[in-house]
Amino acid sequence: MSIRSMFRTTVMQKAIVAVTGLVMVLFLIGHLSGNLLIYGGPAAINSYAAGLRDVAALLWTARIILLLSLFAHVYFTIRLRRLSHQARPIRYHRQQYVASTFASRTMLLTGLLIFSYVAFHLAHFTWGKIHPEYYAATYFLDGRGPVHDVYSMVVRSFQESWISALYILAVTMVMIHLVHATQSALQTLGISNKRYVQPIRKASFVLAIVLWIGYVSIPVACMAHMIEPLS
């Protein structure tokens, strides 16, 4: 079988969706660990952000892997969805919701909304297009000099309620998406033994809750003025 025809098989496409999804979950765990440094104060998170810039080759490799994963994940999901619709030319009169959950029915919708959110998020914190004045802040790091003040940029942004509300909504969608993603990955991998399915499902639920609390705590702490910007 040629590589091209291998990529055309649904098993291969589902495997790509599962693996790229897993890459993004690992990113979410790593990203949250970095973001939580905000509770350590400006020096902690700003030196972490500056440190990432120092390992530019590594950072760009991770970014490229993440970007390719995101595009492959979206592309193959849409392809698989189309294939399953083509395989069922006569639509059901009434949608059958018996075996599906709320999360699975909204999978494509949450996926597309998350995609739009990531575009907004990059414009916001990575390119500084939403609030250029917050993005321009600098911080004097001991032993290093002036660096980008990620701390104040994040806190000032999240003290605007519309931005916090948008992030909380987006993070909630990411977690709904993640819980169902684990279920469909189990199906893809053909794992149906209850001994494994139940603990894996529980673990994905616990992971989603922990990530949700971690991510949401940041805008909430900023809105509650538990963390204040420097400038």
Positions touching ligand HEM (CB under 6 A) are 31, 35, 49, 63, 66, 114, 118, 121-122, 125-126, 150, 154, 167, 171, 174, 215, 218-219
Bridge partners of residue 140, in order along the sequence: 146
Give min distance, CB of 63 to ligand HEM, in A.
Answer: 4
- The DSSP element (H or E) to which 145 belongs, if any, is strand 145-148
Bridge partners of residue 145, in order along the sequence: 141
- Contact (Cβ atoms closer than 8 angstroms) between residue 226 and residue 218: no
Give min distance, CB of 148 to ligand HEM, in A.
Answer: 7
Give min distance, CB of 222 to ligand HEM, in A.
Answer: 9
Nearer to ligand HEM, 19 or 113 (CB): 113
Residue nearest to ligand HEM (CB): 125
- The residue with tokens 């950072």 is 59
Nearer to ligand HEM, 139 or 215 (CB): 215
Gap between the Cα atoms of 212 and 220, Å rounded = 12
Give min distance, CB of 111 to ligand HEM, in A.
Answer: 11
Nearer to ligand HEM, 33 or 187 (CB): 33
Nearer to ligand HEM, 12 or 207 (CB): 207
- The residue with tokens 């992971």 is 207
Centre a 10 Å sphere on the Cβ of residue 114 and count the other Cβ atoms it contains: 21
- The DSSP element (H or E) to which 138 belongs, if any, is strand 138-141
Tell me the HSE value of 108 on the side-chain side, using a 13 A CA sphere: 9
Give min distance, CB of 82 to ligand HEM, in A.
Answer: 24
Nearer to ligand HEM, 10 or 106 (CB): 106
Give min distance, CB of 51 to ligand HEM, in A.
Answer: 10
State residue 218 phi and psi, 5-degree precision: -70, -55
| Nearest one of 9, 2, 1, 14 to 186, comparing CA atoms | 14
Nearer to ligand HEM, 173 or 185 (CB): 173
